[in-house]
Every structure is written in structure tokens, then in C-alpha cells.
């Protein structure tokens, strides 16, 4: 099952009544971190190249009007795993964000205290499916609590790279050696997105006779902005050929890029 079909399965009722003899579907969920909503070819980008996702979009169902559970990382991931709104579990900020006691200014917008872990007593999609005979697999970014609250503690049989931190901050970051306690190092210079995808493919190939849940959460395109040099060079050339210059605007107190032309970010999107 493609990730697009998974979204349909999670958010709508089935269009047909299945027979008890029908085998349970296998589920693949792919999550990309910090991707802009116009950063895919199928959502309007003419600079970033995303042919595989574009094919999925053309062959499946796209949701073009929807809300995320939260505008930041960890709370949304809690909702993906549990189906519960973050406020009900008090997981209302990214895990590691400053709580009220660490804020230097006392303002009316002082955030509420939040829980910095996915509670073990809360059922996850992996635990529910595992109890129904599914093999379960997780690869990539977890960011849902300290050790003891990692994927293997939340219903996943296999954990490849899911730890406390929200970015690839160990080792050589997006390249091996990774410095990740749940992902063995590959050959020198191996690219993290390639490795996570390969681990997922291996799991799927090994579980053709059993229904499975495979969750692939890329660390990309979260900072640090580091990419394969061959892809970055490709986009530097494309930027020059199109004569694209940076243009900036303001959003609240931050500068925002108005033209898609960042070669390294483009390389991360494609990878």
C-alpha cells in the first residue's frame, strides 16, 4: 500500500465492505520533515525535482485542504502515532523547546508547560496493528521522548535510527558515520536518506508473507542543510541556467525566501 492510500485508510471510511477472507493490507507511511507545502513538483515547484512523489500523486489521492495537528514537530508526530490531538496529551510543543520556567520574558503569550514524551500507556498504531498480527518497522526521525520511549518501546519490532533528537546531529550528520545509537554506520560517506530507504525496502522484502506496518520518517529536510555534492552541483547549474536570484520578504520577525533557488536545499528535497 502506498503512503497516499494509507492517508485514505486513516481518514475516511472504506468505500467497500471487505470479505472476512480478504488478507489484511500492508501499510507504508512516508513522512518528510520540514518540507514546504510548495516544495514538490505536484504542488507547484518548477525548481525542485520530485518525480517519484509526483507519480504517487498522479496515481493516488491528494489532500489539498487540510490542517496539521500542530505547527511544530513532536506534537504532530504524537498525533500520527496515536490519532489523538496533542492538547489531550499535553504534548503541545516540540520536545526540547523551552518551557515556562526557561522563558526570560514574562508575557501574556507565555506557553503552557508540556509533556516531553509520548506516554507509554497511550496506544500507538504500531501496538494496535502488532496485536493483530502485523510486523512493525520504524526508520528515521522519532523525536518523541528520551530512551525508554523510543520506537521499540511503542510497538515497533524494528527501529532503525529513531532516537530522542529531532535532527541528524551526531557524527557526520547526513553522512556516515552517523553517531546514532539505533543505526549502525555504513561505508564512509553513505547518505542517510538512502540508508533509511534501503532499510525500509529490506524490511518489506523480508515480510511478503505477513501484513506489515512500515513507517519511514526521513530526517530530511531538517537542518543542517547538507546535501550530496552531485545533486547540489546539478541545482547550482540549474539556478544559473534559469538566472534565478534570491529575493527576500518578511514574515513576522524573520526573513523569508520568496524564490526557490537554494541549491543545497533543492538537493535535499530530491534525495
Q: Which residues are catalytic?
A: 73, 143
Omega of the bond prior to 221 within 30 degrees of 0, cis? yes
Neighbours of 48 (CB within 10 A): 24
Residue where the block lists cell 556516515? 176
Q: Which set of grid coordinates corresponds to residue 29? A: 507511511
In Å, what is the CA distance from 107 to each residue of 94, 100, 102, 110?
Answer: 20, 10, 13, 5
Angle between helices 263-270 and 229-242 (to 10 degrees): 120
Gap between the Cα atoms of 188 and 185, Å rounded: 8
Gap between the Cα atoms of 27 and 21, Å rounded: 18
Amino acid at each position: 500500500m502506498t503512503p497516499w492510500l494509507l492517508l485514505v485508510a486513516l481518514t475516511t471510511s472504506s468505500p467497500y465492505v471487505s470479505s472476512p477472507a480478504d488478507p489484511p493490507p500492508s501499510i507504508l507511511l512516508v513522512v518528510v520533515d520540514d518540507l514546504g507545502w510548495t516544495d514538490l513538483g505536484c504542488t507547484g515547484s518548477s525548481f525542485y525535482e520530485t518525480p517519484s512523489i509526483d507519480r504517487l500523486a498522479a496515481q493516488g489521492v491528494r489532500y489539498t485542504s487540510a490542517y496539521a495537528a500542530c505547527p511544530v514537530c513532536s506534537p504532530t508526530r504524537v498525533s500520527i502515532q496515536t490519532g489523538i490531538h496533542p492538547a489531550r496529551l499535553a504534548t503541545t510543543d516540540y520536545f526540547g523547546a523551552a518551557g515556562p520556567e526557561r522563558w526570560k520574558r514574562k508575557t501574556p503569550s507565555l506557553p503552557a508547560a508540556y509533556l516531553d514524551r509520548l506516554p507509554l500507556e497511550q496506544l500507538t498504531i504500531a501496538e494496535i496493528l502488532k496485536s493483530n498480527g502485523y510486523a512493525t518497522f520504524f526508520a528515521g526521525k522519532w523525536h518523541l521522548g528520551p530512551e525508554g520511549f523510543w520506537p521499540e518501546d511503542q510497538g515497533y519490532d524494528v527501529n532503525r535510527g529513531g532516537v530522542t533528537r529531532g535532527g541528524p546531529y551526531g557524527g557526520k550528520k547526513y553522512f556516515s558515520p552517523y553517531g546514532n545509537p539505533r543505526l549502525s554506520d555504513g561505508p564512509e560517506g553513505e547518505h542517510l536518506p538512502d540508508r533509511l530507504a534501503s532499510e525500509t525496502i529490506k524490511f518489506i522484502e523480508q515480510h511478503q508473507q505477513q501484513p506489515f506496518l512500515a513507517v519511514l520518517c526521513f530526517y530530511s529536510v531538517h537542518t543542517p542543510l547538507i546535501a550530496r555534492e552531485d545533486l547540489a552541483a546539478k541545482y547550482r547549474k540549474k539556478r544559473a541556467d534559469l538566472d534565478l536570484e534570491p529575493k527576500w520578504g518578511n514574515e513576522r520577525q524573520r526573513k523569508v525566501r520568496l524564490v526557490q533557488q537554494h541549491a543545497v536545499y533543492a538537493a535535499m528535497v530530491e534525495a
